[in-house]
Homo-oligomer: A and B are copies of this chain.
Amino acid sequence: MYAFFNNEFLPAEKTFVHISDLALQRGYGVFDFFKIVEGRIPFMEDYLQRFYQSAEQMQLPVPLPEDPLKEIIFELIKRNDMENAGIKLLLTGGYSADGYTIESPNLVITQHVLPTVSQKVLEEGVKIITHEFRREMPLIKSINYTTGIWLQRSVKEQHAYDVLYHLNGEVTEFPRCNLFIVNNKGEVITPGENVLQGITRKNVLALNGDIAISTGKLTLTDVLDAREAFLTSTTKRIVPIVQVEEQIIGTGRPGQVTRELAKRLLEKENMY
């Protein structure tokens, strides 16, 4: 497997970053992640746009404009010859002489085996737990996953699939996924503020039509009282949520609206 780093393609296992990098020393950097499905890259423009936006908001200049960056991505895909995979763009704070000041960012592009969601998860839905927290800069896809990774132990211990953040009663998102609920009026709602603008979230919102889908403020009670709930992400698409801690959501089975949206999302993705 090849990676791209500082203007060259290198075997990924031989790609190293100097210890003075601000990502390593201070957790400072941004990234993005998208998938290749049977050779196609659904919604690539959206991911690239978000990557450049995150970088700008974090005061990190991307060393390449969009077109040459795309060429490098396609060249990497060609070299690695994998029809289904994930591509990660990582932009670090760069090598810093004083260990605190942003210098020239390093760009690392890697390709990964795409994790799949099991049929059991899709058919039975998952249990989630909750944690009082809000991400530091929710709109930026920064590399800071301190709390998310730290919570992995609790997630495993409680046999949960993921952990939902909330603060002052308001729910926001999962470490790496967005949340949707279907309320008792049949309306589909996802938190509008203080969340990462997920591309899958955006695509689900765009399915608004005969099913009403919108953004809004959601409390933990709204989630517990929901008829259905699900999470979205690039790799997971739509995963039904049927339990929050010890409380069952809706019927305790993946709901009809969730399954319909999952079907439509896949159709939309396959059009690319």
Hey, which bits of chain A sit against chain B, CB under 8 A? 3, 5, 12-13, 15-19, 21-29, 31, 58-59, 88, 90, 92-93, 98-102, 108, 110, 112, 115, 133, 136-137, 142-150, 152-153
Contact = CB atoms under 8 A, between A and B. Distances in A.
6 contacts: A19-B110, A27-B29, A28-B146, A59-B153, A102-B152, A137-B147
Contact of A16 (B19, B29, B93, B142): B19
Contacts of A5: 19
Contacts of A19: 3, 5, 12, 15-17, 90, 108, 110
Contact of A28 (B18, B28, B112, B149): B149
A144 B149 CA distance: 13
A5 B27 CA distance: 19
A72 to B, nearest CB: 16
B25 A28 contact: no
Contacts of A28: 27, 145-146, 149
Nearest to A143: B27
Instruction: Count this chain's copies in the assembly.
Output: 2
A26 B149 contact: yes
8 A-B pairs with least C-beta separation: A27-B27, A16-B16, A26-B145, A27-B144, A27-B143, A23-B24, A15-B19, A144-B146
A137 B21 CA distance: 22
Given A58-B146, A99-B112, A137-B147, 6 more contacts: A16-B19, A26-B145, A100-B149, A133-B136, A136-B146, A137-B146
A145 B100 contact: yes
Contact of A18 (B15, B26, B88): B15
A55 to B, nearest CB: 12
A133 B31 CA distance: 23
B18 A143 contact: no
A5 to B, nearest CB: 7
Contacts of A12: 19
A16 B146 CA distance: 22
Nearest to A28: B149
Contact of A147 (B136, B147, B148): B136
A211 B12 CA distance: 59
Contacts of A148: 26, 100
Contacts of A93: 149
Nearest to A134: B136
B142 A27 contact: yes
Nearest to A21: B24
